[in-house]
Amino acid sequence: MQQYITHFALVVKDYDEAIAFYTQQLHFNLLEDTVLSETKRWVLVAPPGARECSILLAKAATDEQLTRVGNQTGGRVFMFLNTDDIWRDYKDMTAKNIKFIRTPQEEEYGTVAVFEDLYGNLWDLIQQKSKFPAP
């Protein structure tokens, strides 16, 4: 049997501001932006080099969903972005005023920093040591 995750939904306030953040601030690729109705779009973004998994930017459609924007995991790190050069990306992101909760630090598995996306969701930015699996 073979299975893999293709997309996961990230609840956002606005499609266009989320697309701008992910494509301009994080250099993600806009893979698809298809209008499904007057209020719904199918929007996929992924970091350069992503092979299987992308983020579905899902605009909050109810008041309850709106309360989850920026806090889908109750304050825990939600997503993990691997990089081949953490210092390059850290410098680029701080120059673009992306807020880091934790600056890059050496861990057993690699170098890791924690940043917020435009809504406050927490991400780990990780440059892994080759002999260790992802945390």
> pLDDT digit string (tens) for 89-122?
999 999 999 999 999 999 999 999 999 999 999 9
pLDDT band at 80 (very low <50, low <70, confident <90, very high): very high
Residues 76, 125 within the same domain = yes
Residues 43, 74 within the same domain = no
Residues 75, 133 within the same domain = yes
pLDDT band at 133 (very low <50, low <70, confident <90, very high): low
The Cα–Cα gap between 93 and 113 comes to 11
Residues 75, 60 within the same domain = no
pLDDT at 68 over 90: yes
How many domains is the chain built from? Answer: 2
Among the three residues 30, 53, 69, which one is the final residue of a domain in this structure?
A: 69
Contact 111, 86 (CB under 8 A): yes
Strand stretches in 47-121, DSSP E: 54-59, 77-82, 100-107, 110-116
Q: Is residue 25 helix, strand or coil?
A: helix
Range of the domain at 23: 1-69
Q: What is the pTM of this model?
A: 0.90
Contact 89, 42 (CB under 8 A): no
The Cα–Cα gap between 78 and 88 comes to 22
Residues 76, 132 within the same domain = yes
